[in-house]
Structure 1
Amino acid sequence: MDEDRPGGTGRLLTGTAWAALLVALWLWGRDITEVPMATAPTTGDVAAVGRPADPALPPAHRPLAGSAPRGLTIKAMNVHAPVEDHGLTPQGAVAPPPYARPGAVAWYQDGPQPGSPGAAVLVGHLDTDHAPAVFYGLGGIRRGTEVDVTRADGSVARFTVEDVSVFTKERFDAARAYGPHVKDRAELRLITCGGYYDRDRRSYSANVVVSAYLTGATEAAANGSGRAA
């Protein structure tokens, strides 16, 4: 994204087609900038030392019919965020929620819809100049954590986190970060800034990429209640 902000700008690049998207996301991985609040974390890495063994992960759920995302819930992070559809700015960046709405998440609307085959991309701010933003704790999310996406048709797509990666700007691999991990599977990517903040370069040193896959769904019912799919 390219947006005026006191003390700096943020940039989350994408493209209009998959090939262009990968190139642009590589650029995003290199060039995203944020200006941290005074108490921003100094690392987005996920340390394995002292953690219990990774939990067994559930099997993948069959992909769902397409429907745009409208809300994101990560109970383990106390995240309950609206999801906004975003296209491209004239500079070729996905138009993100403004810093005036730091609790919102942007979905790249020209890519897969969450629950559909492929890797749907959701991006969010790490912080603002004064406070944590929606993905402030994303670097600490654990494998096996459940992520729910409420969709426009009233259904809820449930994803399970399988991987948390931190890509430095110099070694950012867009295809590995954003390409589907398993063919025809419904996947989700949550991305934000990570690493340490370089005050001379006015940018973070890395990006946090959380990979999840569809493991359950609740369909919308005519009476407004839901049932497991």
Structure 2
Amino acid sequence: MSDEHGHGTGRLVTALAWALLLFGLWLWGRGVTDVEPGTGGTATGDVLAIDGSVDPALLPRPAKPLGDAVPQRVDIPGLGVQAPVVARGLDARGAIDPPPYSQAGVVGWYGAGPGPGAAGAALLVGHVDTATRPAVFYRLSTVKPGQKVRVFRADGKVAEFTVDDVRVLPRDGFDAQQAYGQRRPGRAELRLITCGGTFDRASRSYTANVVVSAYLTGTAG
């Protein structure tokens, strides 16, 4: 087998793996909006029209990506959120398995992807509510560009991210690449994801996902 053919095969395998991953994330994007069985679907206040854009010139410059490390806690000072982070894998459908509703204050990290602070887009997901109370990402849709998100890592470093984009993506026609794909090559990026839109009682699910995008702008520790 020639080197050229080998490289071509490697690129094909990588492309197929990425396509399968995006398909699994697409399933997750649809499935994460499902509410706990038996809930009535408490209101979230999320809307489908969020002006989440900002002039990039007003935001800080990206920081150099860190090495990979496991996240332990995420802080969102503007929301008063300080939540433990646990690694999550894929469920039987090939979609990311979020934390159980019994851990409504816990954030799930897609452990097969990059750690927050490493190059690429790290994915964090949390519930918006449960049958009886708001959950960890209940107010995620109120985050604004320029606000900070801090992730405490197992290597002792604190990765500080700046929010640059907030989107509410409808469940119908969900675009996994738009939600989870890296926005700018070479950056360390972060996605915070929860349910959004309105609660559809017929399907027992929310109609959209809130996707907050941030990028690494500083490091402590």
TM-score w.r.t. structure 1 length?
A: 0.81
Q: CA deviation at 1:93?
A: 3.0
Moved more, 94-103 or 203-212: 94-103
Q: CA deviation at 1:41?
A: 2.1
Q: CA deviation at 1:55?
A: 8.7
Flag as ranges the 4+ runs of structure 1 deviating above 6 A.
52-55
Q: CA deviation at 1:19?
A: 2.2
The correspondence of residues 206-225 of structure 1 with structure 2, limited to 5 A, is: 206-219=208-221
Which of 63, 73, 76 is matched with 1:74 structurally? 76
SS in 1 for 2:211: strand
Which structure has the larger Rg? 2
Match of residue 125 from structure 2:
123
Structure 1 residue ranges without an equivalent (≥5):
1-15, 220-229
Say how many residue pairs are matched. 203
Q: CA deviation at 1:96?
A: 2.4
Distance 2:163 2:35 in 1: 25
Moved more, 142-151 or 53-62: 53-62
Distance 1:58 1:75 in 2: 18
What is the alpha-carbon root mean square deviation over aligned residues?
2.4
Q: CA deviation at 1:186?
A: 0.2
The correspondence of residues 170-189 of structure 1 with structure 2, limited to 5 A, is: 170-189=172-191
Match of residue 142 from structure 1:
144
Moved more, 31-40 or 90-99: 31-40
Distance 1:185 1:48 in 2: 23
Q: CA deviation at 1:38?
A: 6.2
Match of residue 43 from structure 2:
40
Distance 1:75 1:17 in 2: 36
Are residues 1:169 and 2:171 paired?
A: yes
* Equivalent pair of 2:47/2:168 in contact (CA under 8 Å): yes
Q: Percent identity?
A: 50
Match of residue 92 from structure 2:
90
Q: CA deviation at 1:88?
A: 2.1
The correspondence of residues 145-164 of structure 1 with structure 2, limited to 5 A, is: 145-164=147-166
Distance 2:57 2:204 in 1: 38
Greater share of helix: 2
Q: CA deviation at 1:101?
A: 1.3
TM-score w.r.t. structure 2 length?
A: 0.84
Q: 1:66 to 1:54 in 2, by over 3 A?
A: closer
